[in-house]
Amino acid sequence: MKKFILLTLALSLLLSLTACSRIDGGDTAGGDTAGGAPVAGEVRIGLSDAGITVGGKPAPEDAGADVYTAHDIVYYESGHDLTYGEGTAKDEHPASEAAAHTVLHIAAPGTYVLSGRLSAGQIAVDLGEGAEDDPGAVVTLVLSGVDITCTVAPAIIFYNVYECGGREAPSPDVDTSAAGANIVIADGTDNTVNGSYVARIYSSVELSADGSKVVDGKKLHKYDGAVYSKMSMNVSGGDGRLTINAENEGLDTELHLTVNGGVIDIFSGNDGINTNEDGVSVTTVNGGALTVTVNGSTGEGDGIDSNGWLVVNGGQVRAFACGSSMDSGIDSDMGIVINGGRLVATGNMLDAIDAASTQSYVIFNSIRVLSSIGLEDIGSFTLQDAEGAELMDFTVSDNAFSVLLVSSPELGDGLYSLYSGGTLVASAEPGVDGGTGGPGNGQRPPDGVGPVDPPPEVPDDELVRVTDYIPGILVDLRYASDNNFTGEVIYDFTEARLRYGTVKKLRQVQEELSARGYTLKIWDALRPVSAQFRLWEICPDGRYVSNPNTGYSKHSRGNTVDLTLVRPDGSEVPMPSDFDNFTALADRDYSDVPAGAAENARLLEEVMTAHGFIPYSAEWWHYTDEDSYDVVK
């Protein structure tokens, strides 16, 4: 595997009266900061369950001190009614659990070097009201061998510090070097942060007329990440490592986040990284080695999720979304810009790569991988160019996925091939299938400017490959293998094709079902007339196969599809029967199948019919578009 260069970027803090700006030079922390003689202006803090020290002396409990300890952590307390907050039982904590936590409060600007272990505690930075507009309200936390655990809230939180980023004229081009919240990972150290979250707590509420529900609740507290900042934040470092184990989200800010360096591993129950100002926030990666793995404990989660832009300029980024939900390795509401670095991302969805990107990328549809080598074999990959030269080796997490994105400076023109264990499992040719981020696409920015256009809109009667236009949909053409009632391979192709008009309707079905935690899996789509004759040759029984000598199958019109419901990772859900079951279990009576299977089949029928498909009464999996087309001969 190629070794990725770790960039040690100096953290520069400019005290500016307006917005964020950039200056050169000025180390604030690093190997020298972490060890040896204290640097002027640093405050050294030793963490210990036996007692926290500040500058070698016991930390005071005086709330008027620059640094002090208390037992006053903000958390979601159990035992309250609906006017307290939006939390449920899983978000609540008893007062006794919270009281066991020691909060280290930092209330003055400066550089604080932390080391040691705190098994029940929190680092809370709050420079008070007015700090947001004070360019001198800057705090840098140097993590120099810490192990911090908080079971009721974020383990590290920045409340009030200088906010260098504006909300006017949003843009992906932001500079957070003057931000008031800074974390530096000291060289040569290992650091672990285990954190929880705080569900939304109300400051005031408006109830319905009968008092049974909250109509409007004003937010007092809500902190979703194990490491959280209400203001823009920088994370920097060299070869030091920070591991974040998060019950919910991992590393969050309410505005911008810039990762300049360090080795960062995030394991999270929900989004690994989240910047959450809608249409404004920017997550920027300039360097370092960042790995994000969403473990799926909450049932969802993107690897990196920006409610504004995601910009990758350098470093190594590996982001693996939850395998059982329709989430992305990298997700951005306003656009994903790839200008440099090496990026590997997996998930079941992928947003479009912005045309402003200057580095090539390729997207593989891993459904081909699943059908060819089996999910249990996926893990290590080699990417080769058209000449067979190996461009990079990489590994992915154990999370299931249907979309794989790779970007690196080495990518150029030609066909890219993906190998696993020496077996060719997928390929993509740049510029062929468009730049929407859908499965099966490989793109290279034309002339170094940006990716090519998305798959084109075409006439409704044109046949198209379904996976080009419906991200996340799964395909398992039964007649392309011997896994069908004939026991023989009927098709000489594995791609599902339908009329574009039918695909547009099916895309609406997929989007609606995705919101409910399901995805579609296609068993059969366009069936060539020659294949229909082959089926009749094998099984000349009109009860099971349409006789092509007297009339063609609706499948031969390209507007009929056989499909089922599955989870986004491809795992089965209860359905009345398998495909091509010729018993009463296959009909739409459902009185003779388990309740769960009947419920799922009815859900599929409800959504399909709502979007213009006609169900076939004898086969729960069979649907025909209301719009008819000629037979494809």
* Residue range 237-277, pLDDT digits in tens: 999 999 999 999 999 999 999 999 999 999 999 999 999 99
pLDDT, residue 444, reads 32
- Provide the 8-state DSSP code for 224: -
Q: How confident is the model at residue 419 (pLDDT cuts 50, 70, 90)?
A: confident
Q: How confident is the model at residue 190 (pLDDT cuts 50, 70, 90)?
A: very high
Domain end point (choices 392, 420, 448): 448
Indicate whether 208 belongs to any domain: yes
Residues 288 and 338 in one domain: yes
The answer to whether residue 346 scores a pLDDT higher than 50 is: yes
The answer to whether residue 2 scores a pLDDT higher than 50 is: no
Q: Note whether 468 and 428 are within 8 A (CB).
A: no
Name the amino acid, one letter, at 289.
Answer: A
% of the chain with per-residue pLDDT over 70: 86
pLDDT, residue 365, reads 61
Rounded CA-CA distance 367/477 in Å is 12
Residues 283 and 180 in one domain: yes
Q: Where are the alpha helices (DSSP H) in 59-103?
A: 95-99
Tokens of 314: 């350098």
Angle (CA) 323-326-329 rounded to 5° is 65
Tokens of 556: 């031969």
Tokens of 22: 């950039």
Cβ-Cβ contacts under 8 Å for 30 (sequence gap 6 or more) = 8, 10, 184, 186, 187, 237, 238
Lowest mean pLDDT among 87-96, 107-116, 506-515: 506-515
Strands 613-616 and 57-58 come out as unpaired
* Residue range 314-341, pLDDT digits in tens: 999 999 999 888 789 999 989 899 999 9
Share of the chain residues as helix, strand and coil, in percent rounded to the nearest 5:
15, 35, 50
Q: Is the dihedral of CA 174, 179, 181, 183 positive or negative?
A: positive
pLDDT, residue 568, reads 79
Q: What is the mean pLDDT of residues 155-178?
A: 93
Domain end point (choices 424, 448, 472): 448
Indicate whether 522 belongs to any domain: yes
% of the chain with per-residue pLDDT over 90: 56
Q: Note whether 39 and 33 are within 8 A (CB).
A: yes
- Domain with 580 in it: what CATH number? 3.30.1380.10
Domain count, the chain: 2
The residue ranking higher by pLDDT, 412 or 373, is 412
pLDDT, residue 372, reads 34
What range defines the domain where residue 197 resides? Answer: 31-162+175-448
The residue ranking higher by pLDDT, 405 or 422, is 405
Indicate whether 631 belongs to any domain: no
Indicate whether 356 belongs to any domain: yes
Strands 403-407 and 361-365 come out as antiparallel
Residues 615-619: contacts with CB under 8 Å, at least 24 apart: 615/588, 617/587, 617/588, 618/586, 618/587, 618/588, 619/562, 619/586, 619/587
Residue with tokens 């404990």: 297
Q: What is the mean pLDDT of residues 232-239?
A: 97
Strand residue runs (E) in 333-377: 335-338, 342-347, 361-365
Tokens of 437: 């981020």
Rounded CA-CA distance 265/244 in Å is 6
The residue ranking higher by pLDDT, 547 or 466, is 466
Residues 147 and 87 in one domain: yes
Indicate whether 456 belongs to any domain: no
Domain end point (choices 390, 413, 448): 448
Q: How confident is the model at residue 18 (pLDDT cuts 50, 70, 90)?
A: very low
Residues 266 and 371 in one domain: yes
Rounded CA-CA distance 153/101 in Å is 10
* Residue range 36-48, pLDDT digits in tens: 444 557 999 999 9
Residues 474 and 372 in one domain: no
Residues 416 and 475 in one domain: no
Mean of per-residue pLDDT scores for the chain: 84
Residues 319 and 353 in one domain: yes
Indicate whether 22 belongs to any domain: no
Rounded CA-CA distance 60/66 in Å is 9
Determine how many CB atoms are found less than 10 A away from the CB of residue 515: 9
Q: What is the mean pLDDT of residues 109-117?
A: 98
* Residue range 512-526, pLDDT digits in tens: 998 888 899 999 999
Indicate whether 123 belongs to any domain: yes
Mapped onto helix, strand or coil, the DSSP state of residue 529 is helix
pLDDT, residue 429, reads 53
Q: How confident is the model at residue 456 (pLDDT cuts 50, 70, 90)?
A: confident
pLDDT, residue 453, reads 40
Q: What is the mean pLDDT of residues 393-400?
A: 88
Q: How confident is the model at residue 543 (pLDDT cuts 50, 70, 90)?
A: low
The answer to whether residue 232 scores a pLDDT higher than 90 is: yes
Q: Is the dihedral of CA 92, 95, 97, 102 positive or negative?
A: positive
Q: How confident is the model at residue 378 (pLDDT cuts 50, 70, 90)?
A: low
The answer to whether residue 480 scores a pLDDT higher than 60 is: yes
pLDDT, residue 39, reads 56
The answer to whether residue 168 scores a pLDDT higher than 90 is: no
Q: Note whether 302 and 327 are within 8 A (CB).
A: yes
Q: How confident is the model at residue 544 (pLDDT cuts 50, 70, 90)?
A: low
DSSP 24-35: ------SHHHHS
Residues 385 and 490 in one domain: no
Rounded CA-CA distance 68/104 in Å is 6
Indicate whether 191 belongs to any domain: yes
Residue among 149, 147, 96 nearest 121 (CA): 149
Q: Note whether 458 and 427 are within 8 A (CB).
A: no
Residue among 195, 206, 248 nearest 83 (CA): 206
The answer to whether residue 483 scores a pLDDT higher than 60 is: yes
Residues 437 and 477 in one domain: no
* Residue range 300-313, pLDDT digits in tens: 999 999 999 999 99
Q: What is the mean pLDDT of residues 81-96?
A: 95
pLDDT, residue 502, reads 95
Name the amino acid, one letter, at 617.
Answer: S
Residues 86 and 156 in one domain: yes
Residues 361 and 484 in one domain: no
Residues 426 and 471 in one domain: no
